[in-house]
Structures are given as structure tokens and as C-alpha cells.
Amino acid sequence: MWDYTEKVKDHFLNPRNVGEIENPDGAGEVGSLACGDALRLSFKLDENKRIKEAKFKTFGCASAIASSSALTEIIKGKTLEEAAKVTNQDIANYLGGLPEEKMHCSVMGREALEIAIANYHGQKVVKEDFEIICKCFGVTDREIIKAIREDDLKTVEQVTYYTKAGGGCEQCHPKIEALINQVRKEMAKEAPPLQQEKKKLTNIQKIKLIQETLGREIIPALKADGGDLELIDVEGNKVYVALRGKCSFCPSSEFTLKKYVETKLREFVSDDIELEEVRL
Amino acid sequence: MKTVYVDNNATTKVAPEVLEEMLPYFSELYGNPSSMHFFGGQVQKKVNEAREKVADLLGADPPEIVFTSCGTESDNAAILGTLDSYPEKRHLITTRVEHPAIGNVGTYLGRKGYRVSELSVDREGRLDVDELRESFTDETALVTIMYANNETGVIFPIEEIGEIVKAKGIPFHTDAVQTVGKIPINMKKSKVDMLSLSGHKLHAPKGIGVLYIRKGTKFSPFMIGGHQEKGRRGGTENVPYIIGLGKACELAKRHLDEENTRIKVLRDYLEAKLLEKIPNTLVNGDRNHRLPNTVSVSFEYVEGESILLLLSDLGICASSGSACTSGSLEPSHVLRAMGVPFTAAHGSIRFSLSIYNTKEEMDYIIEHLPPIIQRLRDISPFWKDYLKSQGKG
Ligand SMILES: Cc1ncc(COP(=O)(O)O)c(C=O)c1O
Ligand code: FES
């Protein structure tokens, strides 16, 4: 069973604004029967050029219907400039969140809106102008790139959750992978990561941060190999740890592990950390 | 809210008689059947009785029954245990509509360099026996073909297939997880060498299965360990569950008639009423060769998960072959293999009955499902288009 929020359930069971507007000012449709979901959106503006009425018809699962319903509620009363800024994340947030596997439902909402607004301006968003990356679901490079950027996607799996691309025969996975690499490189160039200023920490903060770092970065990997590591003490910049399980019997452990743990602690806690292994 | 449980191909209720039979073996009668002392011996006796009851339902000899941890283990053991016995043969024949417990083993073996032939099915879910005949090679180590399909209930002609496979001298396994307890099976007259079943599909608990291995069949244990199950499956026996499964098989034998009369009538009634009351509804699978308890119906232009959730809201528990419910994005591989059009594949619902279902429950579904489909069609953009195309819009 999907873990839907109360808000999703409410909008699924009692969808708002179902229907199609006669002579709409703008209308857009995305998806198809083959894809398993589709949304037809239409709207009418009032004299102040604000969206007076928005209606939808959706074929799809509960979260697709709820996302469409949410979308119409969100855009009502907005100008087209404002509506154009609505992101799929806004739709998901409005619903109190969607399961990650279902994020494509919110993306479908955003895409239909984009097409409907273009339709108002007498333009067309033509898929043919772009390269279809995923044949199974007819997803273009443009859509995938947009999702990677806007939703900060890092893996093929995430791209599938958000755009459906890659959810079928999987033949497009190498292409999606390449797109992710390309886009993330561009993103990194555009916004070089801020060198995080390592703050001066109180002793308590420091111990907590060390524990967190060990718990997140080090211990899970050790445990997977049958080992473990215990934080014994912290004195100034000296951190004392004991190795447990398999690691404690392995002569090569000391050197490699020490270097590795030290590097991680320096990265996340403080540049002057020194690691000491104790045997208890 | 009352619960109408019509998802018995997913799992079944543990019969009260089964539970009662199991309970002492969780508490006072905890001996190990392998022990020399009387305390283990009395448990051993009970395990043997359970083995006899399973054998009795299948028309098998008790030593041919190997207890496993589930249907999936039985399937894995049958395939990997056979391949291990014929290391020089690197080809496997199966179908496109198997349960993942077979299908994904095939995929895994493909990655390991085996050649895997997957037989196709037609629009009704039927196998083409000639395609099987053309698939054999000198390298073929095993043929594994399910007895009946979990999604559509379509029954394959296992004995006809068995004749063909045995004429080639190749081992033949069938996944009968959905079949045992629903239609009669008699291994004495069968050409099947190995057969998988799972407890939780016939009113025993989850986590117990059987692999039937015909006497004389080459087999290497999949679970390597102690001498239990005559060295064919290591690990101390799951005593209470084995005893529960024995009881469930005894009950299943008694209920076989009812399955094929009263339950079949209920299923046919449900199916006929849904077809009558809901336009653009179709049944998936060959209605002439089908398990008595299963019906897969597709409602065009609506999506399965939405239907299921609205049903669930009324206490009705069914399942769907739609993409959104499987956690994947594509509709069920079974419906796709059958070439069910997308208009229908996404809106498929499976009802699977058991002896615990009643006519009142069918009427409850028949009353509530048509408005649910109508409501979703009113939301669906394609329904109005369809009506328009038919000149009804
Ligand atoms: C045809 C078929 N084979 C195998 C299995 C797996 O059985 P189990 O759940 O006991 O592992 C199932 C159950 O879903 C099934 O329907
Ligand atoms: S081409 Fe993308 S999943 Fe098939």
C-alpha cells in the first residue's frame, strides 16, 4: 500500500475542479493511455488576467488525481506569470508530500500547466524539437534535464521517479546516466560549492559532530564487513577510537582505516583532528 | 466497516483448524525432530504425518515431499538444484508469464551466461506448444512452466507439455503455487518431475513451502546443511509450520469439490454481473481453462490503483496488474505478454476467492464497483473522448 498523506487521500476522494472548460483561454494535455497517466488542464482568466477558473481531467493513480486537483487549487487567482513559477515541488508540498516513486505525478501537473500557458500565448511546446531519450515513456532530454536541475536529482532511479524515464525496458539508462553527469557538471560550474566555513565548536558540539560523522560515514561500511568502531574519548583535537569485530584482528586495518577515518573527521568536523587507536 | 477479502491469490486466511494444530508446537512440544530422545521423537512422528498429508493431496509418495521456507525457495531450489546436477547443460526453457520467483531467476541465469528461452502466450494467455517443441536444444537442462497463472488464473496444459518434455528426456518443473488446493493434482499419473507449492495460498501460514521431487530425479540441494529432508534441504525443520501445512492440505483435499462448485459459481456470478453492469469491461485470460477462484477484469479508460483504493475505502480487498500498484511504471508483465491493449491493461483488477467467501460478499462488490468505475471515468479525459468517438458524447 502506498503511504499517502491525508491531504493526498482527501484530494483523491474529493477531487476539486473536475471537468473541462468550454472555450478555455488556455488548455494543455500531457501523458497518454499507454503511459498509464494523463492530465488535461484548462483555465479561464478574469478581467484582471488572473486565473478565474481551472479544471482538470485525469487518468491515473490516486496521486495523479490528487496532484491534478492540487494544481488547479494552487493556480486559481494567480496571474499567468505567477502560475508559470509553480513547480512540481509546490504541488507535492501542497499535498503534504508525495512518495518519491510518485513524484512524476507532480511533474505531470507542472508540465500540463506549462503547455496550457504556452497555449494561451498561442505557442506550442513541441516534443519533436527535442530528443526522445526514453522510448518506453516518450520522455525527452529537455524534460529530464529540467527535472535534474529543478529537483536536484542524482541517480537514474530518481529520474525515473520524477519523469518515468527509464521505468520500462531500461535501455535508456546509459543515456540518462550521461545526462545526469553532464547536467550535474554544468550545475557544479554555475554554482561552485561554497567552501563551508568550519565554525568553532564547543566541546559538546564537537563530540556530537564526531559521533554523527562516524555514524554516517564510517560505521555502516565497517559493519558491512563485520567490523565496528567505538568512540572512546575526545581531548582537544585528539580523537580516541577502538576497533571492534573483524577490524580489530586485521593487521592492515590500522593504517588504512586510521587514515580514512581521520580524513573524514577532518572534512566534516575540524581540520586539525588527529586520530588515535586505543585497544580496550 | 466490514472486510470483503477477495485477494486469495496474494495470500489466504490461516484456517482456524490449522492454527489450532500448530500451537502446541510453539510451546510445550518444542523438541527437535532429529533428536534421539522421545521428546524429539514425538515431534518427528507429527512431521511425518504432515508429510503424508501433503503427499496425499498431491498423489505423491511421502519421501518425495521436501519442505522449504516458501514457494520462492521451492522455485529457486528446483531450478538451481537441477542446473547444478547438469553443469554441462546451459539452456533453460520457461515462459514469459511466470511469477518473479521463476522469472527473475531466469534473468539472473541470463547474466551468468545461461541461455533462457521464454515461451510466449497469445491474447488469451495460452501457450503455443509448438513453440516449446522448437525450443529444445542438446543443451537444455530444464523446462519450468507454471501450472496456473497467478494474475489471470489461466491453466496451462501441464500434462501435454510433460509428455513432450519427457519424450526428450529433460527434467520438468512446474510452479503450482496457485494450483494446489484449487484443482485436483495427481502426481502418480503425471509427467511432472518437480512441483512447487506454498502454504499461504491454501490457508496455511506464510513462510512454508514444498518442493515435490519425483523419486529418481537428479537434484542437488539448494540449502546446503544437515541431513534433514534426506539431505535435500538442510536446516532444522520449521515444525509448527510443517504441521500447519499438513493440516491445510488435509482440509484442501476435503474442500476441492467446493472450490470447483460453489466457489466457481460465485466467481462466475461476480464476473457475469460486472460484465453486465459495467460497459467496456473485459475478462483477461482463457475462460475455458481457468482456476475456479480467479477472475481478472479490465475496465477501460481508468487506472487500477485508483479503483483499488476506492474499493479499499469500502473494505473490499482485491489487487491489480496496473503499473502504479506494482511499484513499477509498466503494467503487469503477464498482461503485456498477452498483448492486452494499454486502454485495458492499466485498469485491470483481479478478484481471487476462497472457500470463506459468500454470495453476500459478491453482491456487495457488484453493488459498489459500478459507481466507482463511473466516478473514475467521469474524471478520466479518455472516457469522454471515447464516448464522442462512439457518437454518444
Ligand atoms: C505462481 C507463484 N509462484 C510463487 C509464488 C511465491 O510464493 P511465496 O510467497 O511462498 O514465496 C507465488 C506467490 O505470490 C505465486 O503466485
Ligand atoms: S526506453 Fe526508457 S525505459 Fe525503455
What gap in Å lies between CA A233 and CA B181, rounded to an integer? 63
Chain pair A-B, CB pairs under 8 angstroms: 74
Binned at pLDDT 50, 70 and 90, residue B176 comes out as: very high
Q: Does residue B90 contact residue B113 with C-beta atoms inside 8 Å?
A: yes
Q: What are the CA-CA distances from residue B21 to residues B14, B199, B246 (Å)?
A: 11, 15, 9
pLDDT above 50: residue A251? no
Which architecture does CATH list for A126-193?
A: Orthogonal Bundle (1.10)
pLDDT above 80: residue B388? yes
Whether A172 is catalytic is no
Q: Does residue A66 contact residue A95 with C-beta atoms inside 8 Å?
A: yes
Residue A178 CB–ligand 2 contact under 6 Å: no
- Which residues in chain B touch residue A12, judged by CB atoms under 8 angstroms apart? 306, 309
Q: What is the mean pLDDT of residues B110-130?
A: 95
Residue B190 CB–ligand 1 contact under 6 Å: no
Determine how many CB atoms are found less than 10 A away from the CB of residue A169.
Answer: 11
What's the CATH fold of domain A203-277?
GMP Synthetase; Chain A, domain 3 (3.30.300)
CA angle, B350 then B351 then B355, to 5°: 150
Residue B317: what pLDDT? Answer: 95
User: Lowest mean pLDDT: which of A42-51, A208-217, B148-157?
Assistant: A208-217
Ligand number, closest to the Cα atom of B98: 1
Phi, psi dihedrals of residue B227, rounded to the nearest 5°? -85, 5
Q: Where are the domains of chain A?
A: 1-121, 126-193, 203-277
Ligand number, closest to the Cα atom of A140: 2
Pocket test for ligand 2, best of A131, A136, A160 (most atoms within 8 A of CB): A136
Task: Reduce the DSSP state of residue A149 to 3 states and report it.
Answer: helix
Q: Higher confidence at residue B384 or residue B201?
A: B201
Residue A104: what pLDDT? Answer: 87
pLDDT above 80: residue A139? yes
pTM of the model: 0.81
Helices (H), A100-155: 103-120, 141-151
| Burial status of residue A200 (CB atoms within 10 A of its CB: 0-12, 13-18, 19 or more) | exposed
Residue A171 CB–ligand 2 contact under 6 Å: yes
Q: Which CATH class is domain A1-121?
A: alpha beta
C-alpha cell at B314: 469500502
All structural domains of chain B, each given as residue ranges with its CATH number in brackets, are 4-10+256-389 (3.90.1150.10), 16-252 (3.40.640.10)
